[in-house]
Amino acid sequence: MSTAPSLLSQLIADISKKGTILEDYLTRNGLPQPSFKTSAPIDLAIPASEESLIVGPAEGLKWIGMTEIYLLTSLQILCHFNIAQSIPLGSPIAFNELAKKTSLNESLLAHYLHMASTHHYFYEPAPGFAAHTAGSRLLAEDEGYRACAWLRADIFFTACSKALETMTRFGGSAKPEEAPYAVAFGDVFFAHLEKEPWRREKFAHSMKAMTSGSEVEEIAVVYDWGSVEEGGLVVDIGGGMAHISAAIATAHPHLHFLIQDLPSLADQANTHIASRSGPKASHLTFHPHDFFTPQPAIARNAAVYVLRNILHDWSDAHCQQILAHIVDAMGPKSRVVIVDVVVPEPGTLGMYEEAQMRTLDLTMWALFAARERSMEDWEGLLKVVDERLGVLKVVEPPRMRRYAVMEVGLLGEGVGGMEARPI
């Protein structure tokens, strides 16, 4: 009995077949192989009959970024008008019914649904009907992923539209008030969130979604939390809605967590903490604290200070202030666990990963006038804060690509329990 080939096998066969068609076409017409070299043809002019998607730089530049702009706009509009939540999960809905339900213009709604479906968000099972795909279902069910779409369309896109103006006016300034975000919105990113609670809430949800599932679970295993003494205090600095601490607490109930963030996040964080069941909830305490001010007495001599996705938001001068307050509070055995991006040596990543890394780097600039750091940058930053501060261990979590977990301690006299290890 013969079994039908799997979808992946069919795709592989299709790619191979189309590759052969392209190769034959190039040979028949005496054309060179596709290439990115300066001397390569700018227009390959392969006719549509050859079923090839390969284009030269001329055709590429004509379309550059266009699809992404309209995909982003579609997701922005569809999320804003709660379209994903208005489509039933089990059955398709007619466009006209959906338009009536959401008080939208049916024709425009259809245009945006069609655009989103080119990237597998929603699909049209029969003409004039909308239904869910796995991606649009996630938008329907998870506020955090809807907030991710908002973060890109309303925040990153708007800030990036002011990048050129910002560079022209302020050059390479490292002041948050001279970042593209501040130029676009007239305020510094976190101060703006403070003033507009709906923004703050959406940002916190997007942060939670961006650290969801396996990444959060990984934080609980990549660092040796088990070696921290019973009842040891973990201070989660800029801990947002307590999602990281909560994940570690679930796996390591012997620890206590103090989650520090701006006072405006208290309600959201406390609601999240309270929603957790069992006695572990009592191990998590939110404490409003501005990390540019000295650490309070309750956070002194903690076992671990966690900084996840915090320092890359700030220039070296700002990071020095944050770290100096931590060093001041540290005991000889205290550790700082920095979970952040580490930019690898140039040319060591594949093209796709390199592009993602550059995206993160420029996002830091667009929002905060900050940058991602290489390992050399991280070590230099620590040494400026305190000569004794050094990286003891670096772990690269397999699922948190581009990230490293850096364990930092006070080297030299009084270092307890751990030897300094080379990276």
Ligand X SMILES: C[S@@+](CC[C@H](N)C(=O)[O-])C[C@H]1O[C@@H](n2cnc3c(N)ncnc32)[C@H](O)[C@@H]1O
Binding status of residue 270 toward ligand X by CB under 6 A: no
Which residue has the CB atom at the shortest distance from ligand X?
238
Binding mask 72-111 for ligand X (x = CB under 6 A): ----------------------------------------
Binding status of residue 195 toward ligand X by CB under 6 A: no
Out of 92, 144, 180, 238, the residue judged to bind ligand X by CB under 6 A: 238
Least distance between ligand X and beta carbon 163 (Å): 20
Choose the stretch contacting ligand X; rule: CB under 6 A; options: 53-61, 157-165, 221-229, 284-292: 284-292
Q: Which is nearer to ligand X, 252 or 318 (CB)?
A: 318
Binding status of residue 207 toward ligand X by CB under 6 A: yes
Least distance between ligand X and beta carbon 375 (Å): 20
Binding status of residue 218 toward ligand X by CB under 6 A: no
Q: Which is nearer to ligand X, 137 or 287 (CB)?
A: 287
With CB under 6 A, what is the number of residues at the site for ligand X?
17
Binding status of residue 261 toward ligand X by CB under 6 A: yes
Binding status of residue 366 toward ligand X by CB under 6 A: no
Binding mask 300-339 for ligand X (x = CB under 6 A): --------xxx--x--------------------------
Q: Describe the crossing of helices 266-274 and 243-251 by its angle, rounded to 10 degrees.
A: 30
Q: Which is nearer to ligand X, 40 or 191 (CB)?
A: 191
Binding status of residue 360 toward ligand X by CB under 6 A: no
How far is it, in rounded angstroms, from Cα 30 to Cα 344? 41
Contact between residue 171 and residue 233 where contact means Cβ atoms under 8 Å apart: no
Question: Is 312 noted as a catalytic residue in this protein?
Answer: yes
The residues that are catalytic are: 312
Binding residues for ligand X, per CB under 6 A?
A: 190, 207, 211, 238-240, 244, 261-262, 265, 290-292, 308-310, 313
